[in-house]
Amino acid sequence: MTARAAGRFEAARAVADAVLFEGYVLYPYRASAAKNRLRWQFGVLVPPRWGEGSGEPAFQRTEVLMEPRRGARLFAELRFLHARRRSVQQALPGGGFADVEALELADRVLTPWDEGVEERVEVEVPVAELEGGHVVPFTVAGSTQSEDVHDGGRLVGRLVHTREELRGRIVLSAVELPGPYAVRRLTAVVDNTADWAPDPPVEGGAGRAAALPRSLISAHLMLGLDAGRFLSQTDPPQWAKAAVQECENVHSWPVLAGCGGGADVVLASPIILEDHPAIAPESPCALYDALEIDEILALRTATLTEQEKREARGTDPRAAAVIDLADSMPPEVLDRLHGAVRSLREVTGPDTPAGDVDLLPEPGTPWWDPGGDRTVDPETDRVVVDGRQVGAGCRVVLRPGLRRTDAQDLFLHGRSALVEAVLHDVDGGVHLAVTVDGDPGADIRREQGRFLYFQPDEVSPLEDA
């Protein structure tokens, strides 16, 4: 792939890396931890003969709409992890080596582990040639390598890295859709074509353990056009909605991922993302267990015992990097993980009256403290609903919205309630805190400050209020 084509994917690559290693190693980052024994949660494409009995997929199908210009070229980059099995051997006094479950070193404990080696398959093809289909088979050779392990200058053992052969293919095709728009439906299928099954047949965890080194793990595609654009699968133009609904995506979720919000790149991920996903700027590094909160992970990792940290460092270099980060993270970096305000409204400016300075928060007041913005007051603020001023002390009828409510709120539809406060969130949203008329626990809720919350378009003022 040309440098120009590779540069087209740079904006998406950081998110693609997160997808590639999502769930790679979970807190507490040790191979001995129970949740690190069942590996590779997302995007696993197993050998077809194994998949028939296991229910796990052997392929991934992506369909998106694109509007290529004349002479456009399509760039595709398949990325996945290849499981490389690591065994640990101890040096014997008389020479030679023997397999062991753990090898104790001064700074780490080495244990058997399946390492993830990144693999890429790159394709470049004119869009005009996709009508008849374009097939790209690929093979990743198997290998066995050993790595001596020294401790204090003395040979104490070795690591043996074994990886099996992988076989697969990428099938690209495009068809022009009928209608006034020059739109084509692009189909990209990734297949694991390995002709392998355990012999004799092995079921359950043992069979899966044997299948993983022959699987495409965390498989995902990046697709790019050098001239033209892709259409969003989640927010397409009105004229394209019917055609988008006919796209068939199996084990794949395509989103726009071009630089600066551009539509010339699609990331087809095995996990659900939004268009133009991005890594939070506060995140100090990859923590791999991203279904947790970075702050919690960093704090928990810092509290591991020294023996647990030695085991984590010996599990995988990526786990060792997380341990080192938690041990060395400056307080200001950890503070950034506590929370972030993405949308701020300006309180002061060149025309701000001098008297308004009294409304500014005290220095050092956290952003989440209600006293952080004295321009608002929940007890006196008002909001206009159906042309009427509504605030604390007003009575309203509840009409919960179907799109942002839960089942309990629906039971309150049509009930009358008392507005206790008008609240503003840090994103500029307005919420009404209410207690429901007839609720026997209303006084307790009021005393504890525990209310129900509705947005202004989910209530109607009572005529007699």
Residue range 103-152, pLDDT digits in tens: 999 999 999 999 999 999 999 999 999 998 999 999 999 999 999 999 99
Per-residue model confidence (pLDDT) at position 61: 97
Q: Which amino acid is residue 284, in one-letter code?
A: P
pLDDT band for position 352 (50/70/90)? very low
CB 112 within 8 Å of CB 30? no
More confident residue, 335 or 191: 191
The Cα–Cα gap between 38 and 147 comes to 26
Flag the least confident range among 117-121, 186-190, 200-204: 200-204
DSSP state of 13: H
Helices 294-302 and 317-328: crossing angle in degrees, nearest 10, is: 90
Average pLDDT of span 445-459: 89
More confident residue, 280 or 171: 171
Which residues have C-beta within 8 Å of that of residue 20, sequence separation ≥ 6? Answer: 79, 80, 81, 118, 218, 220
Flag the least confident range among 63-67, 229-233, 421-425: 421-425
Cα-Cα-Cα-Cα dihedral sign, residues 11, 15, 20, 25: positive
Place of tokens 């992970």: 297
Minimal CA–CA distance to 111: which of 179, 159, 177, 167? 159
The Cα–Cα gap between 68 and 15 comes to 25
pLDDT of residue 255 exceeding 50, the answer is yes
pLDDT of residue 360 exceeding 60, the answer is no
The CATH class that applies to domain 377-461 reads mainly beta
Residue 247 structure tokens:
């796209």
Per-residue model confidence (pLDDT) at position 240: 93
More confident residue, 406 or 146: 146
Percent of the chain with pLDDT over 90: 59
Flag the least confident range among 30-39, 277-286, 379-388, 448-457: 277-286
What integer best gives the mean pLDDT of the chain?
A: 87
Which residues have C-beta within 8 Å of that of residue 126, sequence separation ≥ 6? Answer: 71, 72, 73, 74
All CATH 2.30.30.140 domain ranges in the chain, comma separated: 377-461
pLDDT of residue 100 exceeding 60, the answer is yes
| Whether residue 200 has a cis bond before it, omega within 30° of 0 | yes
Q: Which amino acid is residue 141, in one-letter code?
A: A
> Facing residues of 117 across strands?
82
pLDDT band for position 424 (50/70/90)? confident
Which residues have C-beta within 8 Å of that of residue 68, sequence separation ≥ 6? Answer: 74, 127, 182, 184, 225, 227, 228
The Cα–Cα gap between 402 and 382 comes to 25
Residue 458 structure tokens:
């989910």
Q: Which amino acid is residue 259, in one-letter code?
A: C
pLDDT of residue 363 exceeding 80, the answer is no
pLDDT of residue 169 exceeding 60, the answer is yes
pLDDT of residue 84 exceeding 50, the answer is yes
The Cα–Cα gap between 345 and 72 comes to 43
Which of helix, strand or coil describes residue 282?
A: coil
pLDDT of residue 446 exceeding 60, the answer is yes
Per-residue model confidence (pLDDT) at position 361: 57
